[in-house]
Structure 1
């Protein structure tokens, strides 16, 4: 398969890019990249004879195509720069860093990676992997004593947290080795242990040793943000990291915050037997979602015995005899909440303090994030940034996507943009919460004329046979085009379901498209089709499988 480049005049926006991309795809092109600002498209063809067919097809559009130029492998790579120690030097070793390193190494660059701690970044070491395995353990523990089947007599003993932690750590070590450490030798880049900071725009210092590079990637991630509450810094509180290392289940876990980290860890410890109190400043849980989602999740928490306190004004935190006391004001009334463990889960802040970016006039945002453009470049064009340090959507798959783009952009003359229009989000509670695209509120603010469909989970046959019907499907549709522009799900396996919805939103499927597609019966994904039918039908009046 060969790569080709064509200049195209007349493109003015992202919709123009989509139009050109669709035409190229129709005629067999693959790996398509279209840039309206640079006025060009790159693509691969299996059959070179398709070139002229593609050019003729583009002539039928409002745009003006130039000649199609073949790009040989040599054209796609930048020559190694022997002026510096490395062609490409990466600070950090998480998902963005490895994705960039692999791409750049495959393209022939001399690559090094600097890491001050464990290789692998947040996800494998202290984030996704350890949290999700403990979440599953908590779910099994809770189900043993709270399942919905009347004929089953099950029970569970007090969990052995020390053994759970041992098993979790073995999994972390295994994945860190297989998915990160082993790849360093496989792809042939250097790992340098230590903390890095910039001396000038082409030089960093690591443990007193100076290293130079033609290009850099800042991929240092983010850390828990600690709010300025009187007395908090003098208290032995937990963060999302240390909360996953407890050797005993707390009697009462009190949580400052109610975002995805607070919900996941709070429910996990509730499932393991703790009393849990969540506290938030705002008046509505998950205020970034539409009310149907927020209300469903709040009901879920209350049903499991989790206490949620809203519109909290934090006055002071103190610790006495191992107990934590959080002094509050709620609706003008003073209250004190006592717990034996306190988790602070109020968001994350970018890890930029130690970079000494002031030495190179690196541009940072008001929260300390590295500012980037669509090509992941900072204000210094040969220095890139990716992942949580940019305050992009904080998912490892976003970081990996960005890192791969940087790896290409530092090693090829043609640059690629990040595309973050269709990023699915999942919170791994039980049931889980997943979303893609606009909420109803966001769509209205963006000027869409919208239609919405809200389907209670009790209308999905899979939920009925599971005897777990607490949840909801909500679809957002552009009333003019009937295209799906948003989907939000609270249900078992919502994270799996949302991938289908992501494809529907990305490829501009309509409600009719979903309705005309056969959905496997007794799957949670069938809820997407049933929700699409709900735009103009009462699904309670349909027989099983009639959708």
Structure 2
């Protein structure tokens, strides 16, 4: 005998609980299913715990630099990794607990714990329970990709999830993957005191960014003593005593990196492989992501996919926006769609990279006539005053319309500053809206108008 609901939500990541609150608040009888810890990746193994670790690593770095600011600290700086982990656990667990209390306290909402599997297009099994609804929302997130790397099955390795259990300092951490997750973990553990080698298959780090951004990030990491190995396009792994050895190429004089621990950070895969999607007839692409339209509907009427599992965004903020799109269309008679949103994200190394819209390469490929403004952080007073003047800021403008097409801000508070440009882009106003604004001094943001007052044509 099945339990009947008006809506079933699978997963309690960023989109799920908020959607459950809206649907149950509208009077619907809702079931929400969670197989593990409440809150999904962000709360448990992603944003919240990793940024808590980044904060501890920043404190360690600042303490070591105290003398530069005229601050005398007696004795060497030491890191208590058990306390670092305990602080991270406390903050992460509080967030997870709050999500669980929230969904359990919702009116008209029943929480089921266990692994969900479709049995048809409107029935889902959780353990011995069979749930039925005309509306089903899939919000199952993703996990670390384990690459087909020869020898990997013979060595121990870590992922972003298992790194959450580390309460010790690796002597030498080898990070395979030169993008966001790998760079953040690499820098933080270098600051905790580990030797760190970052291995990247491609010719540069964070290859989705412009070449000069990649180069500047590499220089920041190398200045802290991180070994960056690029063009590592034939990766292998093996044990050598208590060491893990990663082969970097297959040439005659093969390069190798030997370390105490190995972290894999080469991408993500969606948690869709064990949902029984075939029984519901739900289409996925070659990588397992659920195919959705502009309003996040799957090919099966009455089934939606939100968050990382739909391949339309891999961030907490895009997942939450997925909830907003679905709720607006279902409940508010407000036809919102995925293409309304402007790409925006950040790389949370220190200093961070804030990114919105197009890269310069993408803008050039669009065939538009361009204007570009650039300013090094060495000419930003607030950055110099803080002793954190690495990086640069850049904005790209359509020369014909004055529209801001994109921006990269690599520098102190760049992850916050970039929103002043993003908001003007959403308002569909020309760059003069912000170039003529009067910002507070001394701040980093005050140099955004200055940068936009000195736009130069791009050949």
The TM-score, its normalising length taken from structure 1, stands at 0.80
Contact kept? 1:215, 1:410, Cα under 8 Å? no
1:117 to 36, 39, 56: 36
Contact kept? 2:9, 2:137, Cα under 8 Å? yes
Write the mapping of 1:339-354 to structure 2, written as runs, cut at 5 A: 339-354=259-274
Per-residue CA distance 1:408-432 (angstroms, 9 max, x = gap):
4445677542345313201111000
What is residue 187 of structure 2 aligned with on the other side?
Answer: 267
CA distance in 1, matches of 2:333, 2:340: 22
1:189 to 96, 109, 116: 109
CA distance in 2, matches of 1:131, 1:88: 33
Per-residue CA distance 1:328-351 (angstroms, 9 max, x = gap):
217764022111010000010001
Shift of 1:369: 0.2
CA distance in 2, matches of 1:193, 1:372: 26
CA distance in 2, matches of 1:249, 1:305: 16
Distance 1:532 1:86, change over 3 A: same
Write the mapping of 1:150-165 to structure 2, written as runs, cut at 5 A: 151-154=70-73, 156-165=76-85
Contact kept? 1:312, 1:330, Cα under 8 Å? no
Contact kept? 1:197, 1:354, Cα under 8 Å? yes
Larger Cα-atom Rg = 1
Q: Is 1:405 aligned to 2:325, yes or no?
A: yes
Contact kept? 1:144, 1:156, Cα under 8 Å? no
SS in 1 for 2:181: helix
What is residue 137 of structure 1 aligned with on the other side?
Answer: 56
Report the count of equivalent residues: 455
2:355 to 417, 426, 435: 435
1:370 to 290, 304, 310: 290
CA distance in 1, matches of 2:42, 2:193: 26
Contact kept? 2:53, 2:188, Cα under 8 Å? yes
Structure 1 unaligned regions, length at least 5: 1-82, 538-547
CA distance in 2, matches of 1:413, 1:451: 39
Shift of 1:481: 1.4
The TM-score, its normalising length taken from structure 2, stands at 0.95
Q: Which runs of 4+ in 1 moved over 4 A?
A: 410-415
Contact kept? 1:293, 1:489, Cα under 8 Å? no
Per-residue CA distance 1:380-406 (angstroms, 9 max, x = gap):
020000100012221111111112332
What is residue 462 of structure 1 aligned with on the other side?
Answer: 382
CA distance in 1, matches of 2:66, 2:374: 27
SS in 2 for 1:405: helix
SS in 2 for 1:258: coil
CA distance in 1, matches of 2:455, 2:252: 43
Contact kept? 1:99, 1:401, Cα under 8 Å? no
Per-residue CA distance 1:114-142 (angstroms, 9 max, x = gap):
11111111111111111001110011011
Q: Which moved more, 1:178-187 or 1:451-460?
A: 178-187
